[in-house]
Chain A
Amino acid sequence: MIELQNVRKHFGSVKAVDGISFAARPGNIFGLIGPNGAGKSTTIRMIMNILAPDSGNIYFSGETIGEKDKERIGYLPEERGLYKKVKVNDLLLYFCALKGKNRAWSQEKIDFWLKKFDLLAWKERKIEELSKGMTQKIQFIAAVAHDPDLLFFDEPFSGIDPVSADIITESIIDLGKEGKTILFSTHIMENAEKICSDIFLMNKGSEIVSGSLQDIKNTYGSRSIIVECDGDTEFLNRLPQVDNFIRYPRWLEIQLIEEASQEEFLRLLAAKLRIRKYEIVSPTLHKIFVSLVKEEAGNE
């Protein structure tokens, strides 16, 4: 359990993190979501005890987080680098040792993870001999091998191939089931939607919205319509039923005003466009984020 209470960190005039509060529970996968520069990294660094907050409190299992808690935290940073000349096994043992784990215990865990990722054959090879995908798996192992209670994954899928991404997704979900507290940070909303149960959406250092993903969707989801179609969609701007819409490369996500009738709207579209797919869905996180950020900008 990790809990932030009104945490604030300013760098000069830059309000990197401006009074945020949230709690991530064991067994849940908690998404810390926001665009680049939203304050995610600063938040992570404060939780990791790398930076001290200007004000506010961070609690880990009910106590103020401190240097001793570093042994219970696993961290996968966004940009990855490892010592190139060091052997895989030596590197993993080193990171475990830095977490205060003894050698025999660590070796067992390392072997377990290497086997899981099918990397046992590379155990005695140098990092520089590994492919990019393998290196990323090693880095993932480095974050989890010491069996931490709190795990922090910063953009775990950036630059990773789909097969490896699936293995990692699976592992993260498993770790969640084991009762670990998992924080997951990303600016790609689709990724968050796939695995997070709770989210904290932030922008410019402040909270936009937080809570369980389902609640958020219910609250902000007057339902959306996903339309795949051919033809000029320009006329949508002029339709009184349309509250707003987002054009994705292959489809449209449309939100109607509350009084509008779906049937009537479908008929209108069918008259003007060739429709391949028409689906009523909960809004995507991206959609919620965009509309909330717009709303906030409008209020200022």
Chain B
Amino acid sequence: MNKLFEIIKHEFKLTAMNRLYLVMTILGPLLIFAVSVLPTLITRNTTLIKEGSVIGIVTEESSLTYVLSAVFTESGIEIDPEGTVEEQMNKVLDGKNIGFLIVPEDYLESNRIEFYTKSGTDIALYEIVKGILSKVIVSQRLAERGLDSQEIAHLSRNPELVSKRISTTGETRQQDFLSVLLTALAFVMLLYMTTLLYGQMIGRSVVLEKSSKTVEIMLSSVRPLDILFGKIIGRGAAGLLQYGIWVSVALLLIKFLDPVLSIQSSINLEPEFLGFLIIFFILAFLLYSSAYGALGAGAEDDQHLGQLGWPLIIFLVLPIVMISPIVMNPDAPFVIALSYFPMTSPLVMFIRILINKPPAWEILISMAILIATIIGMIYAAAKIFRVGILMTGKRVSFREILRWIKY
């Protein structure tokens, strides 16, 4: 037990001293914050236009200029009526103004206004300008028919369309597909990448010790399974520490920055979700790292490990490839099946929880299947590890490695 602890300590240090680990630990929270907030920012485009941006206007209608500048100011945009077309063009090219409008004298009749920007493709800005112009021009037309301004404002107000989802708990929450997809994708990528990274790390370290014969020294001191479990627990602890740092920093960022930016995350990053994230990381890690540990013992070198490992990667990648249909139909039978199947359940069940939390018994059954599989996997890995760790000079197949379980 004491020696197992020494191996755990050693493996933990080896992982935590690694430069990649440090970089990932530092960049992780930024990534989590980015993935939880950016989608909202992207889809809520108004916030992307800088306060105090200037749009030029070239027109003979000074009254229109007056009205527009009043309305645009509400959206944080100033109106610059100074200058000819050419001068306005230069201001845009210099970056002083973000664009300019050319409004012909008969704009109410011709129903045509030109809007020039540097890129011509800034859809967010286009939508804002279009929205404001529509409102102003419609009001002007209504005013010509003799309606007063209050009436106009009342008649022309837009209905607010808010996308809501129904959850089993009965509460409703603002949600739109794109940002949900992006957030889910980002979290699943995080789970996938860390599981794969830690799994392969363990596989590679077994291969390295095996091919360099360090393992012979190890085996002259400890039992084979001490090596396997020492690696899994030691590296797992390093992974867990990393997740711990990520989650706490993410929670802090959200707590302090959310009110400042007044952003409502598309998916509520409640502590509950982060808790599930950690639980599913632990489970996925145990499953895949024990599998990789076994394959590492069977492999001759890194390349061989890569070949042996691809069945594992297929299962890991599957939920990511299918993320779009999974997010759209979180309750489809195939998604439910994938959220029970142990090789895909950590990722798929997590997506389901993120989007439309299934009843607790479903989550518990999925976890129970997963834990049972992990126990079986560790048992098989131990068998394979014992046989494989001493076997050198032969590039065995995946099937042959499976046969070692019976030894």
Contacts and interface: CB of A to CB of B under 8 A. Distances in A.
Contacts of A75: 216-217, 220
Interface string B207-228: 0110111101111111100000
B14 interface: yes
Contacts of A178: none
B223 A142 contact: no
Contact of A95 (B211, B213, B217): B217
Contacts of A15: none
Interface in A110-135: none
| Chain B residues touching A, majority SS | helix
Interface in B257-300: none
B212 A79 contact: yes
A95 B221 contact: yes
Given A45-B390, A100-B2, A100-B3, A77 B216 contact: yes
B220 to A, nearest CB: 4
A289 B209 CA distance: 35
A81 B209 contact: yes
B3 A98 contact: yes
Interface in A74-96: 74-75, 77-83, 85-86, 94-95
Contact of B6 (A50, A70, A97): A97
B79 interface: no
Nearest to B19: A85
B212 A82 contact: yes
Contact of B214 (A45, A50, A67, A83): A83
Interface residues of A, number: 28
Contacts of B223: 67
B231 to A, nearest CB: 13
Interface of B: 2-3, 6-7, 10, 14, 17-18, 208-209, 211-214, 216-223, 390
26 contacts: A48-B220, A50-B216, A50-B220, A50-B390, A51-B390, A70-B220, A70-B221, A74-B220, A75-B220, A79-B213, A80-B213, A81-B211, A81-B214, A82-B212, A83-B214, A85-B14, A85-B17, A94-B6, A94-B10, A95-B221, A98-B3, A98-B221, A100-B2, A100-B3, A142-B217, A152-B220
Interface of A: 45, 48, 50-51, 67, 70-71, 73-75, 77-83, 85-86, 94-95, 97-100, 142-143, 152
